[in-house]
Amino acid sequence: MKQEHSISPLELMGIHGTTKSSTDESEPQFLIKTLKKGLPYKAYIDLGAERELGTESFLPILGISIATLKRRAKEKTFNPAESNKLYRFASLLAEASNALSSKEKAILWFKSPNRALSGDTPIDRLVTEVGYQQVQDLINRIKYGIYS
């Protein structure tokens, strides 16, 4: 069963265009401006990755320590590099949610050992670019019904 509408990465993070103009949050200019400025800490909370995947699993994806996360909470924003990594994960989560028909199923998939990843979980592979591409490929296989 397919979802009625596609989930977007920014929707998962609670970010929407802030003006009444024709700014479309999917437009590259809006995304670039938002990521360069730095995502608000609230986007991390709204994404729910820490709660659903666990801090120990998620912080390596952002490349930060628990102390840095606490600083970001006080500062209420991530820097551009961290924001980019957070957005990349949100993009994968959105794609997996759409392919598997729910965010809950996608979260479970990210936490489950996967044969195509030599028994690793998808979340553990996201620390490197190569691992990220492997997970992206698996999501595409699910989307297009290719057995893997």
Total tally of structural domains belonging to the chain: 1
Q: How far does CA 33 lie from the centroid of its chain?
A: 18
- Percent of the chain at pLDDT exceeding 70: 89
110: in domain: yes
At position 129, the amino acid (one-letter code) is E
Tell me: the pLDDT tens digits for 16-68? 754 444 445 557 888 999 999 999 999 999 888 777 877 788 899 999 999 99
pTM of the full predicted structure? 0.86
- Whether 90 shows a pLDDT value over 50: the answer reads yes
What's residue 54's pLDDT?
A: 79
50: in domain: yes
- Whether 99 shows a pLDDT value over 90: the answer reads yes
45: in domain: yes
Residue span of the structural domain in which 136 resides: 9-15+25-143
**If pLDDT is split at 50, 70 and 90, which confidence band does 2 have?**
very low
**If pLDDT is split at 50, 70 and 90, which confidence band does 93 have?**
very high
d(CA 122, CA 1): 23
What's residue 20's pLDDT?
A: 40
What's residue 146's pLDDT?
A: 85
d(CA 127, CA 124): 7
Q: Dihedral, CA atoms, 20, 42, 4, 121, nearest 10 degrees? A: 150
20: in domain: no
Tell me: the pLDDT tens digits for 122-143? 999 999 999 999 999 999 999 9
Tell me: the pLDDT tens digits for 60-75? 999 999 999 999 999 9
4: in domain: no
Do residues 97 and 6 touch, judged by C-beta distance below 8 A? no
46: in domain: yes
Look over the chain and give the mean of its residue pLDDT values, rounded to a whole number.
Answer: 88
119: in domain: yes
